[in-house]
Structure 1
Amino acid sequence: MVSRTLFAGLVLALVTPVAQASLNVFACEPEWGDLARSLAPEADITVATTAWQDPHYVEARPSLIAAVRRADLVVCTGASLEVGWLPALLQKSANREVQEGEPGLFYAAEQVPLHQPHDHVDRSMGDVHPEGDPHVHLDPEAMPVIAEALASRMGQLAPESTSDIQRRYLSWRVDWNLRRDQWREAAQRLEGRELVVQHTSFNYLLRWLGVEPVIDLEPKPGLPPSASHLSKVLANDRLDQADGILVATYQDDRPAQWLSKQSALPVLVLPATVTGEAPTQTLPDLIDHIIRQLGNLSNDT
């Protein structure tokens, strides 16, 4: 009787962790948390930032360090977007599995070519990323490539879940392709529109839609709009051709509102990443919402 009890206990101890096993994922930005959740809904996912935070500037808080320490997989944008805070998290976490060069660290920007790479970057240029524009999550063509690569990496780290992860990736891809067909139809109506923007947060999607960001409220990337620069923007001849002003929710919209009063251009303040709530709960939902709002803007002007 004792031997059977011991045997049953050993079997339970061996089987239970496998049955309950799930990836522990740390996502630097909400878009990667959303994608990871689509591929592995049973995963324990911690997201470092929100749609109301500038992802360039994040405090390496003890809670984030602890989350990285527990992580099997860290998913970030890369391309120097998190250069001001991610290295500190990785170092202080002392988690060997998620350090640079390890399978546990995944950079989305390394999976696809980026727009506007620079051979030379210095501080005088502002917040310019040498690798290129890192805000690639709003690129309808790049995201399936990134999703496939992430699914492969997750399967590598959790081989017992590979088939489930691949099945969910295929389901995600079908939905994305259907949505992309709808976005292409919307792009035909939006093509040729022009916008005043602040930073490059939406540029991948705008470029894909054929919408041109003709003026930037930032004098240099990452620098807040100054009074002198706003005066130059107001005097810019291309302002007359613009259909509106687009800023992200994490940005100070006061410069955009000032320019709106001077020019009568409408202002769109939109999340540049998922919020977890309708109508921008998921990444496809976010793109739906942005395109819908751009369409409303073009109808009003």
Structure 2
Amino acid sequence: MDPMRFDATLKRAAAAALALLGTALATPAAALTVFACEPEWAALTRVLLPSARVHVATHAEQDPHHIEARPALIAQLRAAEVVVCTGASLEGGWLPTLQERAGNARAREVFFAAAQVSLLNPQPSAIGTPWAGDVHAEGNPHVHLDPRRLLQVTAALAQRLGQEAPAERAGIEQRRAAFEARWRQHIAAWERSAAPLRGQRVAAQHTSFAYLWHWLEIKQDADLEPKPGMAPTPGHLQRLLEGLRSAPPMAVVASNYQDPRSARWLTTQLESAKVKVPLLVLPATVAEDAAEPQLVQWMDTLVRQLLQAAKP
């Protein structure tokens, strides 16, 4: 071959190779698809990996213990590369059904937030029966309501997302460190402002806010449910009322996904006995599309409403 023609052929081949390499470098990695069982874990995923495609199984006004295994959720779980849930049996009534119907092997390797922290009120010998209510042998699953435990979950979730998206690992770690620094500042501010709540007492429906009470040193004296997860009964509420008349709590608390009628009845009855106790319906989590700002606003709201209830 003519040397000049050979040289031109080499140059064209090199240019083509460089063009292909440039295209490959310019093409972004496919976004990681994440299935989050609850909105709080979806929000944390967005903090750590904003490029992720996140599907959320439940919403803020839905009891995460009990949801329907809808076809849309099955399809979302089938496409998921990472599954992030609370664990401690919170999703035990519906997640296994979704996993079975989705037929996605990766969906069986679930990241459970509750496995990353110590849990309140473990009951290793508890056995769930239809008459026992929502039994969580591992412990109370609502760990996201303690902002300190939320940081522990964030660190573990960052590691898992980095394993699943190695090209994003450095960015995930940078965002985790920045979030931790900001979140610790928020924790310090919340604890300063919440100082008047220490030692206060509440009556609440279920133990949804147990970690919030533990963090702020509030005591839940009474549960409106006769057994965990069971609807309040007239007899149980009447017995509670008799005790609360003589020792009124700071507030009667329900979460925004619970029927507030029982809590409202209790506060109304107390008021008729000239005992003024406010009813607080608190948000148990954030919206499905939330990210860091909404997490901060949510915790701000919880602390602010409790402080308002504590005022004489």
TM-score w.r.t. length of structure 2: 0.88
Q: Percent identity among equivalent residues?
A: 43
- Ranked by relative contact order (alpha carbons within 8 Å, sequence separation 6 or more), the top structure is 2
Shift of residue 243 of structure 1?
1.1
Partner of 1:109: 114
Q: CA deviation at 1:183?
A: 1.6
Letter in 1 for 2:116: Q
Q: In the aligned structure 2, how far is the partner of 1:140 from the partner of 1:98?
A: 27
Which is further off, 181-190 or 149-158? Answer: 181-190
C-alpha contact 1:274 1:281 (8 A) present in aligned 2: no
The answer to whether residue 107 in structure 2 is matched with residue 93 in structure 1 is: no
Q: Report the equivalent of 2:45.
A: 36
Q: 2:36, 2:54 within 8 Å by CA — same for their partners in 1?
A: yes
How far did residue 165 of structure 1 move?
0.4
1:108-187 equivalences under 5 Å are 108-122=113-127, 123=129, 124-187=131-194
Contact 2:88 2:136 in 1 (8 A): yes
Gaps of at least 5 residues in structure 1 are none
1:23 to 7, 10, 32: 32
Q: Give the aligned partner of residue 296 of structure 1.
A: 308
Q: Does residue 249 in structure 1 map to residue 261 in structure 2?
A: no
Aligned mates of 1:267, 1:9 — CA distance in 2: 66
Aligned partner (choices 67, 76, 84) of residue 76 of structure 2: 67
Contact 2:42 2:288 in 1 (8 A): no
Post-superposition Cα deviations, 1:116-143, rounded to whole Å, max 9, x if no partner, equal: 1112223243212000000000112211
Which residue of structure 1 lines up, in the alignment, with residue 202 of structure 2? Answer: 195
Structure 1 SS opposite 2:162: helix
Alignment partners' CA distance in 2, 1:239 and 1:109: 37
Distance in 2 (CA, whole Å) between partners of 1:69 and 1:220 is 35
Letter in 1 for 2:236: H
Equivalent residues of 1:195, 1:215 under 8 A apart = yes
User: SS in structure 1 opposite 2:286?
Assistant: coil
Q: Higher mean Cα deviation, 265-274 or 230-239?
A: 230-239
What is the alpha-carbon distance in structure 2 between the residues aligned to residue 56 and residue 65 of structure 1? Answer: 17
Number of aligned positions between the proteins = 294
Contact 1:217 1:225 in 2 (8 A): yes
In structure 1, distance between residues paired with 2:302 and 2:67:
25
What letter matches 1:107 in structure 2? Answer: F
The amino acid that maps onto 2:263 is A
State whether structure 2 residue 253 is matched by structure 1 residue 272.
no
Identify the match of residue 221 of structure 2 among 211, 214, 217.
Answer: 214
CA distance in 1, matches of 2:54, 2:278: 37
Equivalents in 1 of 2:178, 2:246: separation in Å?
Answer: 43
Maintained 8 Å contact 1:214/1:238: no
Cα shift readout 1:219-270 (whole Å, capped 9, x = no counterpart): 0000000111111111115763301111100000000111111012211111
**Post-superposition shift, 1:144?**
1.0
- Distance in 1, matches of 2:136 and 2:67, equals 17
1:285 counterpart = 2:285: no
Is the contact between residue 59 and residue 288 of structure 2 (CA under 8 Å) also seen in structure 1? no
CA drift of 1:283 comes to 2.3
**Distance change >3 Å, CA 10–CA 96, structure 1 → 2:** farther
- Could you tell me which residue of structure 1 aligns to residue 6 of structure 2? none
**Take 2:199 and 2:281, find their aligned partners in 1: how far apart are those partners?**
21
How much does 1:98 deviate? 2.1
- In structure 2, distance between residues paired with 1:13 and 1:67: 30
2:147 aligns to what SS in structure 1?
coil
> What CA distance in whole angstroms lies between the structure 2 residues aligned with 1:192 and 1:210?
6
8 A contact 2:39–2:289 mirrored in 1:
no
Distance in 2 of aligned mates of 1:255 and 1:9: 68
- Which of 51, 59, 69 is the equivalent residue of 1:50? 59
Q: Which moved more, 1:223-232 or 1:184-193?
A: 184-193
- Whose radius of gyration is greater, 1 or 2? 2
Q: Helix, strand or coil: the match of 2:281?
A: strand
What's the TM-score once normalised by structure 1's chain length?
0.91
- Structure 1 residues 89, 5: CA separation in 2 closer, same or farther (over 3 Å shift)? farther
Q: Distance in 2 between matches of 1:55 and 1:135?
A: 10
